[in-house]
Amino acid sequence: MFTQQYLREHAERRVRAAHAGPAAEPGRTAVTVVLRRFEPTTFVRSAVAYALNLPDTLSEPWLRAYTRTVFLSGNPDNLRTRFAFQHVSADGAMAWTLPEDTGEAPPLRRLLRLFPAAALPPLPARIEIPPRDGAGPDLRTARLDVVTTRVSLADYLVHVHHALAEAVLSGVIGAGTGVVLRHLPRLDPAEGPYAMLRAVPDRDAADGRLRACAGVARCGVEGEESEGTWVHLE
């Protein structure tokens, strides 16, 4: 189990990283994702593709804003004539906007409802996403471990999307990197070291404790893993 001191110390590094660049308003820079339905492999593949395709002028402010993302329930096909989507999943069921300085009420948020916080559906133990077509392999695989206990579907979307987006924007995942996602009941430090770790307040604890919900480790072709640098806390 990760110690509370470890989680808090590394969370502070993430906060310092967010304030290292030009001034930003974390509460006003956000991406909106519209989902007609949830399919885990498509969601993971699309989240990686979306982050890889963002220009630096937009990805850097979004990274400083903790890759804030709002998930809404709706049909992207019914919205394309009114809203510009940067990325649409291969099955057309999920669509991403560019990061926008939209404040607390993005235009789509005024039209659609938040994606429901339903129970997490059955998930495969492992999801594998190959490197992007045409990209030269970098001979490494990024492994994302995600906690599935005491996690709703809405929580899962947030944890996975934050971890993948920040891994891409921080250079842990590139176009030539394969991604393996594992669903686990809890994170074990022995499985690391994690290059990135997502920690959130534990809703079931009254003392402000943090809980590790997702971790990214970068593995070499023979399984060796690189040492990490910071934790994402939100």
Q: Which of 49, 11, 77, 18 is nearest to 232 (CA)?
A: 11
What number of other Cβ atoms are within 10 A of residue 83's Cβ?
17
Q: What number of residues does the chain have?
A: 234
Spatial separation of the C-alpha atoms in residues 24 and 57, rounded to whole Å: 13
Q: List pLDDT tens digits, range 30-64.
A: 999 999 999 999 999 999 999 999 998 999 889 98
Q: List pLDDT tens digits, range 86-130.
A: 999 999 999 999 998 765 556 788 899 999 989 999 999 999 999
**Is residue 146 within 8 Å of 214, Cβ to Cβ?**
yes
Element (H, E) at 53: helix 40-53
Cis geometry, peptide bond prior to residue 130 (ω within 30 degrees of 0) = no
Question: What 3-state class would DSSP assign to 162?
Answer: helix
